[in-house]
Structure 1
Amino acid sequence: MAIKRKVTANWKGTATDGKGHLSSSNKFFDNTPYSFKGRFENEDGTLGTNPEELIAAAHSGCYAMALSVAISQAGHTPDEIDAQAEVVLDKEGEGFAIKEIKLTVKGKVSGLSEKEFLEMAEGAKKGCPISKALSAVPISLNASFES
């Protein structure tokens, strides 16, 4: 059974001066704005999002769930998993490219050793569907454990 998700982007104007909106079928994105300045100029106060932030959100959410699945399958219940994905966008030639994704995770799981947690954290990085989709980009992991 294939699961399908869809977001629609609408853009008006030039690349640098135009503005866009994202909308999703579940209304999570409901005309959410995005712009060139918010994406490439780190403009403070820009309302909205950008594609790299959406990739980071998808990756951190998927990764945290994948790690939770691994921990649960090992017979434990995660007390807490905090995952962060940082997408590094940089100039490449005349354009831009995603150069790296940095995953950071902090976990607290009663009854699990740090060694087990770190092994599961690495496995989740490799097994998360978003990690697989983004495998053309180097993905690093910084994991820490609290017993």
Structure 2
Amino acid sequence: MDRHLVSSDIATSVAEIISDLKHLEGPLLPILHAVQDTFGHIPNEAVPMIALGLNLSRAEVHGVVTFYHDYRSHPAGRHVLKLCRAEACQAMGGDRLGDRAKRRLGIDFHQTSADGSVTLEPVFCLGLCSTAPAAMLDGAVHGRLDAHGLDTLLAEVGA
């Protein structure tokens, strides 16, 4: 779906998502995932609609969006690179990889490169502790990542 929809299109799509998923037990997270899958982020105007549809306060919905690192309130770049920040990855050089990625992209965590190609996000465990340090690029996990491997991943996405 086009990420540059006008507000009425956003409202219509969000209303459909809420209607389709509000019957689930604990529907907030599935609704937020569906909204983000549709728009690439959680548009600000979706928060009050979700709150109303689930009989929650806007603060509750906003709190969930800002608490979980997987949700974003602004569009991501064309590619999303998540670097594991958990202890096993830190012990195996994850901090150096994070610093290298920041330098190469010219950004910090939670930011998108100036050309819009890559959003850099921290993640607190990818479940690859035995192959640390680990990263996830566009949903594909990569273990035993070193500087060369990181450079290769960035080159693959044109960064």
**TM-score scaled by length of structure 2:** 0.27
**Greater helix content:** 2
**TM-score scaled by length of structure 1:** 0.28
